[in-house]
Amino acid sequence: MERDIWKACALKSTPGRRAVLEVLEESRGPVTAEEVYRRILARGGEAGSRTCLSTVYRTLSTLAEKGLLLRSAGPDGVLSYQLRGTGHRHYLICTRCGATVEIGGCPLEELERALGAETGFAITGHSLELYGLCPRCLGGGDGESPGRKGR
């Protein structure tokens, strides 16, 4: 039980919460609440059969509030979460199939410093994501229906 996060945060360790955290740990990029939920169902077991979506949402919110998770929004407004590691990460996301590639290093640290000095802001964070088409979607014709509707 690696460095008991639950006790440290004054939270109770429950199957649902543990499952959420595990999914987050094995995810490379930012994940949606829905996605976390689907993966918990997929893995089955104690949590898989009992955990509901609200618990996932609540756990994600709680962990984000405690500072363990980073919350961001995709271009369509859907929220994603990722474990806040030692340093944070940014991703290059394929707008067609959703494939993500991690970008090494954060190109904004210097900018933040300069900007803080220049504007007087106390800069607390940033959001950065790059979008494009991955090689596979560039090559093939259709990875997914290109016309999207609704939200």
User: Cα separation of 133 and 142, whole Å?
Assistant: 11
User: How deeply is 31 buried, as exposed, middle or buried, from its count of CB atoms within 10 A (0-12, 13-18, 19+)?
Assistant: buried
- Does position 64 interact with its own copies (CB under 8 A)? The reply is no
Distances (CA, A) of 126 to 16, 41, 58, 70, 98: 30, 32, 23, 10, 22
Stretch that binds DNA, among 21-29, 50-58, 106-114, 137-145 (CB under 7 A): 50-58
Phi, psi of 56 (to 5 degrees): -60, -50
Distances (CA, A) of 93 to 30, 98, 125: 10, 6, 20
Nearer to DNA, 64 or 103 (CB): 64
Nearer to its own copies, 5 or 115 (CB): 115
Among 87, 125, 141, 147, binds its own copies (CB under 8 A): 125
User: 3-class DSSP state for residue 6?
Assistant: helix
Among 75, 85, 141, 147, binds its own copies (CB under 8 A): 75
The one of its own copies, DNA, none whose footprint includes residue 150, by CB under 5 to 8 A per kind, is DNA
- Nearest residue to 32 via CA among 97, 98, 87, 125: 98
User: 3-class DSSP state for residue 41?
Assistant: helix
Stretch that binds DNA, among 14-22, 104-112, 122-130, 132-140 (CB under 7 A): 14-22
The one of its own copies, DNA, none whose footprint includes residue 122, by CB under 5 to 8 A per kind, is its own copies
What residues make contact with its own copies under the rule CB under 8 A? Answer: 71-79, 92, 94-95, 101, 103, 107-108, 111-112, 115-116, 119-135, 138
What residues make contact with DNA under the rule CB under 7 A? Answer: 6, 11-17, 32-34, 50-55, 57-61, 77-79, 149-151
